[in-house]
Amino acid sequence: MFYGYWAAAVTPFRHGRVDIASFERYIATLIEGGVQGLVVSGSTGEALALTREERAQLMKAATHQADTHIPVAAGIIAATTQEAVQQAQEAEKHRVTALLVVAPFYVKPSMEGLVAHFRAIHEATSLPIILYNNPTRTGMDIDFTLLERLTQLPRIVALKESSHHFARFSSWRTRLRKDFAFLAGDDDVAPAFLALGGQGVISVTANVAPKLCTAFYNAWVSADLETFARLRDRLAPLHKVLFVEPSPGPTKYALSTMGLIREEVRPPLLPLTDLGQMAVRRVLQDLRGE
């Protein structure tokens, strides 16, 4: 289940409200594009700007659209254990397949505090848990010592790795459970990540080019290295431009040019500048061969 390209879904807004109708149409295009999974109310989904009720709306819509086709993970982003447990329990009520749980941010707990945090979430739900390591945003690094302890919990099944030291996981793989999965958290390192033994990518780029991303992954799995290299180079400019300004602004703008959603974001994020829009349009035109 925890392999391939998962799209880290955006949250469409219309005049300040979550736009569920656009969200459903957009999710349908991702499923049609062949993504192997979805993440809703995560970082790319502006989770910290969402209310409890809005997160519930998104989870209901995503699981309804995905049905039995692909798994849906809910992002659990909280600074306290109490809030993380509450989010996880609410996500389970809405029939998501798994939880994507980031380390608590800002407070910088001890290792024992981190173990207790993840254990509390594990014991409060029955869902598989994907750990999310993003130290530049949380100030906490899930290193091997911590990961080894956490993987003793049977439903901690994967790690989304977004540190600058992603290559280290290649030396961890043989020291952990064989069924434990490693997923890249950044599109630009996906080729190297797969070559180092990773199982997949939780992707921003897959929102905009799901068919190309899944074709890229399938080329790797089938050892079609010529196609893999061609798609790697074709996707590279898109990976870069989707972070030309704070995410998910560029991704939302790209999706708006496709007629799927409005580009609206919630403060303190801002719509793309004219220069940012020009950069995104240029890459999309090149990608389409226009």
The pLDDT assigned to 200 comes to 97
Q: How far is CA 278 from CA 250, 266, 274, in A?
A: 10, 21, 6
Give me the catalytic one of 26, 132, 217, 253: 132
Check: CB of residue 263 under 8 Å from CB of residue 249.
yes
The first and second tokens of residue 80, run together, are 């306290």
Q: Which CATH architecture has domain 4-228?
A: Alpha-Beta Barrel (3.20)
Instruction: Domain ranges for the chain, please list them.
Output: 4-228
Give me the catalytic one of 5, 26, 160, 252: 160
Q: How remote is the C-alpha of 172 from its chain's centroid?
A: 22
Closest by CA to 265, choosing from 31, 34, 49, 8, is 49
Phi/psi of residue 242, each to 5°? -75, 0
Tens digit of pLDDT at every position of the chain (290 positions): 899 999 999 999 999 999 999 999 999 999 999 999 999 999 999 999 999 999 999 999 999 999 878 999 999 999 999 999 999 999 999 999 999 999 999 999 999 999 999 999 999 999 999 999 999 999 989 999 999 999 999 999 999 999 888 889 888 988 998 899 999 999 999 999 999 999 999 999 999 999 999 999 999 999 999 999 999 999 999 999 999 999 999 999 999 999 999 999 999 999 999 999 999 999 999 998 74
Q: Is 3 a catalytic residue?
A: no
The first and second tokens of residue 52, run together, are 């409890």
Check: CB of residue 133 under 8 Å from CB of residue 163.
yes
Q: Is 240 a catalytic residue?
A: no
